[in-house]
Structure 1
Amino acid sequence: MGFGDDYIINPLKYALSNIKALLIFAILEFIPLAMFLIMLVAIVTPFSQSAFDMGQMSPESLIMLMFSLGVGFVIFLFIGIIIDLIVSIFLNGYIMKILSTTINGEQKLPEWENWKELFYKGFVFFIGTVILNLVFFFINMGFGIIDYMSVFFFSYSDIGIFALFVSIIVFFFKLVLSIIQAIYTPLALSNYAYTEEFKGFFEVKKIFKMMSLNWLAVLIVAVIVVLIIELPLYALIVFAIIFGIITESVTLAVVLGIVGILYASITLPLVSIYMYRCYGTYYKKTNEELEYCDLKE
């Protein structure tokens, strides 16, 4: 198959190959969003004129109300974070399953089964990505310290232009680092899904061998496809903001917000599955080529 079949048509068909699994993905992904909406309503409602007339409340009552809302917010936020984390772990475990089954050549979106294994692999996914992000964060912070030190020592001296030069160089390296992180992380996730070993996240030599202009093209095409799918959502958000400012219609803004949430709840799972299918497909092809080269040697 050609590039378009491998990274546009096939992944989209794959995402729709098991509607039941897609719906379960959508429902789980919607739970954190639903928690956020409930929290938002719970915070906003007490302040609405229909619920309270704060102008007639005594200072003591107002303080008590604010304290109660603050405590409630903290408790609800804590519960929401825990639920969000648990749901995310299961979703990550399923993403690992998508990657592993794709690498193994399966053409249908896998079922949601063996939840214990999904949780375990999702947890390892979480730990691995946290460590990767920390590594890139500390490297990025190192560049930031160099930039800060150059400004501190040279900006008020006769060679202040040197500080500007260093800042430009540091900015360039930070940009390159961000690009490396963007192209390294999906391959690291795919490598873990294939090897099922934690060290798969950090097999730097192997993963760097897999990087190519073709991989960069895959990422660019995947992002473009996602933007096209999500374009109606972005247009709806812009329209809701502009129209809401012009008409000052809260009701219309709420309706448009609900429509946007419903659209996002359908498309976000679709694009997530689509992108990881692209990652797995590229990893499968490249890994087979590397293994073939190793056998020849």
Structure 2
Amino acid sequence: MRKLEDYISDAFRYAFSDIKKGLVGGLLYAISGALSVFVSIVIEPGMMEGVYLEKFTTLLILSSIGFLIGLIVGFLVDGYYIRVMKTTVEGSNTLPEWNNISDLLVKGFLYTIGTLILVIIFMLPLIILFIIGIFAMAIDSSGIIGLPLLLISLLLMILLIILFILYSYLAEVNFSVKGFFGFFEFKKIFKLMSLKYVVLLILVVIITVIVLLIVSSPFIIVYMLYAAQTPSFYYEYIPSTPMIIIKLISTIVSSFVGFFMEVFSKRAIALYYKDKIEELE
């Protein structure tokens, strides 16, 4: 297997290996981000005050259209990530084409559904235990039974979240290769995990977070400085035009860079998956 630094360096080179393809993905992701800002502004409680029924209906229709377009673009980009992982496992060292759009949309949709099912599977024990704890506290007012169960639920939640993160990254690569049911090959996916994988995942997450913080921090600072000079009610409930513009630009830039960082992370984990599969065989 490769060294950790090899996974990181290869993934970075790969993410920026074809600027044209990267620009397509970055722009699509930026559009999705911009639409999410638009929808969030439209449904802002303060924006709805004093709005007549006609205007409210128009805003509702526009926000619904924006949401649907953003959702479709999201499926498209997610489908491309799946293609990135699949071609990586197959041995390709170049970014895949933005073709066969219907395939990208279907893969993106299935990816979303599969991820939601995994969340339910991993969180189900926690939900059951939490409900039992609530009932126990309602029956036993002293909390001798219910309180310990709630504390156990909290610890279990932390454990399950960590486990889900470790599992989901490899599961999505397995999905890209095996199809939808690749999400649920639990025995195989847990077998692929190792200390090297955990360290690699931590490094990938840290690098991604640092890059996104560097990109977004100037906008956050400007936003906070402007907000500090604005009456609290005004910026909390009725966003001003400058604040909306700052938020919009920040989201667009962060989303654009975020696409490249997602490709970087998918590539790094897919390379590990490929090497580990070959090692086990």
Compute the TM-score of the two structures, normalised by the length of structure 1.
0.81
**Residue equivalent to 1:243:** 225
**Residue equivalent to 2:126:** 140
Q: Encode CA deviations 1:246-290: one digit per residue, 9 max, x unaligned.
A: 434967645644542343133111111111112201111111122
Aligned residues: 270
Change (3 A) 1:192 1:167: same
Q: 1:173 aligns with which of 147, 150, 156?
A: 156
Change (3 A) 1:80 1:230: same
> Is 1:283 the counterpart of 2:273 in the alignment?
yes
**Residue equivalent to 2:261:** 271
**Residue equivalent to 1:77:** 63
Q: Encode CA deviations 1:66-100: one digit per residue, 9 max, x unaligned.
A: 21232122212221222122212211211111001
Q: Secondary structure at the residue paired with 2:52?
A: helix
Change (3 A) 1:89 1:101: same
Change (3 A) 1:129 1:262: closer
Identity %: 30
- The structure with more radius of gyration: 1
Give distance in 2, aligned partners of 1:175 and 1:42: 35
How do 1:65-144 and structure 2 match up within 5 A?
A: 65-144=51-130
Letter in 2 for 1:24: V
Q: Encode CA deviations 1:214-272: one digit per residue, 9 max, x unaligned.
A: 22111110111011101224422441243113434967645644542343133111111
Q: 1:192 aligns with which of 175, 179, 182?
A: 175
Give distance in 1, aligned partners of 2:174 and 2:203: 21
Q: Secondary structure at the residue paired with 1:17?
A: coil
* RCO higher in structure (CA 8 A, sep ≥6): 2
Letter in 1 for 2:3: G
Give distance in 1, aligned partners of 2:163 and 2:109: 24
Contact 1:192/1:199 (CA < 8 Å) preserved in 2?
Answer: yes
Change (3 A) 1:144 1:85: same
Q: CA RMSD in A?
A: 2.6
Letter in 2 for 1:179: I
Structure 1 runs (4+) deviating above 6 angstroms are: 40-44
Q: Secondary structure at the residue paired with 1:111?
A: coil
Q: Encode CA deviations 1:126-175: one digit per residue, 9 max, x unaligned.
A: 22222222323433321221221232233x23xx3443322222211121
**Residue equivalent to 1:153:** 139
Give distance in 1, aligned partners of 2:248 and 2:76: 26
**Residue equivalent to 1:34:** 34
Q: 1:164 aligns with which of 147, 152, 164?
A: 147
Contact 1:93/1:119 (CA < 8 Å) preserved in 2?
Answer: yes
Letter in 2 for 1:78: S
Q: 1:218 aligns with which of 200, 205, 208?
A: 200
Letter in 2 for 1:4: E
**Residue equivalent to 2:3:** 2
Change (3 A) 1:271 1:194: same
How far 1:37 sits from its partner (Å)? 4.4
Give distance in 2, aligned partners of 1:116 and 1:12: 28
Gaps (5+ residues) in structure 1? 48-53, 55-61, 292-297
Contact 2:123/2:160 (CA < 8 Å) preserved in 1?
Answer: no
Gaps (5+ residues) in structure 2? 232-239
Give distance in 2, aligned partners of 1:4 and 1:69: 55
